[in-house]
Amino acid sequence: MGNHAPPFANVPYAPFSRSAAVAVAMDEWRLWGSRVDDNGGPGYVQTGATMAERQQGLWQRVGEYWWEGMNASVPASRWTGKHDAEGRVFSVPANGDYAWSAAFISYVMRIAGAGRDFPYAPDHATYINYAARAARGEVRHPLLVAEDPQSYAPQLGDLACFPRDWAGGLSFAALPTNYNFPAHCGIVVDTAPESISIVGGNVDDAVVMEHLHTDAAGLLQGNRENWFVILRVNYASP
């Protein structure tokens, strides 16, 4: 299943831990230039010259997210930041068909040592629904469990998610769904009084950090997107 990944991640050589997942995500963020976007990238225009994912050294990195993040049978494992499975450069307007934010999360989890237990997928809905089923007791020994952001404060290494496009109004109560839906997830890399920092892929066509507002109890409050679910990750004990 995971034979695209190196042995140190598949075995894994070290326990799957919050510190490992955060370190992997932060290293990738620094590789992409330590970009921060807290307001949705106003003024950003996608062109072949402005899209970081299409530049030398970075389109290849996106290819590594696909190759190592996906299981071997997934056709998308052959994609890069600008190539389809046959190695053909896809057009800028077709970019949305090759969105890699879920591949980035899958890559981080794989390289951090999640092994075979993470539901690796080219879309976020797959592991959001997995976590929602786990919250209902339908998954044995789950690696992810869905938590309601109105009552659960995100912790380091958790995944914060919002639904996109036509699914933008989805609520926590609607999970799990019996259909796929567009979404985005980022990994929590820092917590502070009244804010958390998350890192996600394919944000402005790069790996980008965003700061989310929280209240005094650490609950998400007053943010631009509908952060409708937190995926609590069951890391190994220290």
Taking only the tens of pLDDT, the chain with its 238 residues reads 446 789 999 899 999 999 999 999 999 999 999 999 998 877 889 999 999 999 999 999 999 999 999 998 899 999 999 999 999 999 999 999 999 999 999 999 999 999 998 999 999 999 999 999 999 999 999 999 999 999 999 999 999 999 999 999 999 999 999 999 999 999 999 999 999 999 999 999 999 999 999 999 999 999 999 999 999 999 986 5
- Please, where are the H alpha helices in 112-231? 124-135
pLDDT of residue 1: 47
Q: Which residues contact 130 (CB under 8 A, 6 or more apart)?
A: 119, 139, 142, 144, 176
The predicted structure's pLDDT at residue 111: 97
Of 214, 226, 222, residue with least CA distance to 190: 214
Q: Which residues neighbour 183 within 8 Å (Cβ) at sequence distance 6 or greater?
A: 123, 124, 125, 128, 161, 162, 163, 164, 167
What integer pLDDT is reported at residue 237 of this predicted model? 64
In a domain, 5, yes or no: no
The pLDDT score that the predictor gives to residue 41 is 77
Number of domains in the chain: 1
199 in Cβ contact with 186 (< 8 Å)? yes
Is residue 8 situated within a structural domain? no
With respect to residue 2, please indicate whether it lies within any of the assigned structural domains: no
In degrees, to the nearest 5, what angle opens at C-alpha 137 toward C-alphas 10 and 152? 85
Q: Which of 119, 120, 86, 83 is nearest to 98 (CA)?
A: 83
Q: For 117, which DSSP code?
A: G
In a domain, 6, yes or no: no
Q: Which long-range contacts (CB under 8 A, 24 or more apart) does 69-75 make?
A: 69/103, 69/104, 69/105, 69/106, 69/107, 69/109, 69/110, 69/120, 70/4, 70/103, 70/106, 70/120, 70/121, 70/122, 71/1, 71/2, 71/4, 71/120, 72/1, 72/2, 72/3, 72/4, 73/1, 74/122
Is 211 a member of any domain?
Answer: yes
The answer as to whether 3 is a domain residue is no
User: Is 100 within 8 Å of 83 (Cβ atoms)?
Assistant: no
| 217: in domain | yes
Q: In what order do the strands lie in the sheet with 195-203?
A: 35-36, 206-213, 195-203, 183-192, 159-163, 229-233, 144-147
What is d(CA 223, CA 41) in angstroms, rounded to the nearest whole number?
Answer: 15
**Radius of gyration from C-alpha coordinates of the chain:** 17
Domain extent, residue 60, equals 15-233
Residue 10 placed within a domain: no
